[in-house]
Amino acid sequence: MERHGRGKGKRRLLGSHQKCWLWGRNVVIETLSAGRWEILDLFLAESLEKEQLDEGLRLAHAQGVPAHVEPAELLRGLCHTSEHQGFLARMTEFPYADERQVLDSLVDPSFSVILDGIQDPYNFGAIIRSAEVFGAQALIIPTAGQVGVTSMVARSSVGAVNRVPIARSQSLDRTVDDLRRRGVAVVAASEKATHLLPEYAFDRSFSIVVGNEGKGISRGLLERCDCTLRIPQKGTIGSLNAAVAAGIFFYEVSRQRQLPRP
């Protein structure tokens, strides 16, 4: 077995031995490149093309991550999938950002996202990916009733979990109150709203609230929002998937902010 890098002290794993693995070329390379989320060990398949193998080894060396070049079958045995693409990382717990520091770091006109109980890891990962693509400065999630950042979430985000701060809040009600005291408008995404998304001007600091896939936004949180917006629809289906709806909201923010100012 070929090894590169130095060993590290004991760290808390992302999950159990079976759930601590992050795999796939794009997400592993993105995680190595960002250098935010500590990787305990990197496993690279010896069947990789030289360019890919060299890239993995170079990034691992730069981050001080022990790298192991092994047969692809060994990687499959570790993560129990053949979809690793020759890149497999053993992860520590995800490094959530401090909520207070996140709020203090928002740059006017800011754009942040609050998720109220997203439970599907694919939805969560897709929302993180869209938030990063369209320029969100931060995501805030509750500590309870919400899926956290897991390997599945990280893979669904294609590594965007490394590029946008994600903080956890003990009380989203208090978080919204704090944001409003700071002059940040809080906008709720709801198919029951009377006002349409394109009618709102995203030219000031604001935060978009996206609710649970089934129950939507909790009543107490909804009452604290400055306004509620819905996406114009032509079909007969009552609502969009939470991740799709969030992506449309984020796109509208990006679209408006790229328009020339009068």
The C-alpha atoms of residue 198 and residue 259 are separated, in whole angstroms, by 13
**DSSP character at residue 20:** S
Radius of gyration of the chain (CA): 20
| DSSP codes joined into one string, 92-154 | B---PBPHHHHHHHPPSSPEEEEEE----HHHHHHHHHHHHHTT--EEEEESSSS----HHHH
Instruction: Report the chain's mean pLDDT, rounded to a whole number.
Output: 92
The pLDDT tens digits for 179-194 are 999 999 999 999 889 8
Q: Is 172 helix (H, G, I), strand (E, B) or coil?
A: helix
Residue 2 pLDDT > 50: no
The C-alpha atoms of residue 114 and residue 138 are separated, in whole angstroms, by 9
Residue 6 pLDDT > 60: no
The C-alpha atoms of residue 221 and residue 11 are separated, in whole angstroms, by 36
| CATH (residue range 99-258) | 3.40.1280.10
Q: Is 86 helix (H, G, I), strand (E, B) or coil?
A: coil
The C-alpha atoms of residue 229 and residue 122 are separated, in whole angstroms, by 24
The pLDDT tens digits for 23-81 are 999 999 999 999 999 999 999 999 999 999 999 999 999 999 999 999 999 999 999 99
What pLDDT does residue 262 have?
53
- Which two structure tokens, joined as six digits, stand for 188? 């709720």
Find out whether 9 and 21 touch, Cβ atoms under 8 Å: no
User: Left, alpha or beta for 117 (phi > 0: left; psi -120 to 50: alpha)?
Assistant: left
Q: What is the mean pLDDT of residues 118-122?
A: 96
The pLDDT tens digits for 121-165 are 999 999 999 999 999 999 999 999 999 999 999 999 999 999 999
> Where does the pLDDT of residue 5 fall: very low under 50, low under 70, confident under 90, or very high at 90 and above?
very low
Rounded to the nearest 5°, which phi and psi values hold at 185? -75, 140
| DSSP codes joined into one string, 190-227 | -TT-SEEGGGS---S-EEEEEEBTTTBS-HHHHHHSSE
The pLDDT tens digits for 157-214 are 999 999 999 999 999 999 999 999 999 999 999 988 989 999 999 999 999 999 999 8
* Paired sense of beta strands 195-196 and 185-189, if any: unpaired
| CATH (residue range 2-91) | 3.30.1330.30
Residue 10 pLDDT > 90: no
Q: Where are the alpha helices (DSSP H) in 134-206?
A: 151-156, 172-181
**Residue for token pair 């959530």:** 96
> Where does the pLDDT of residue 234 fall: very low under 50, low under 70, confident under 90, or very high at 90 and above?
confident
Domain boundaries, the chain: 2-91, 99-258
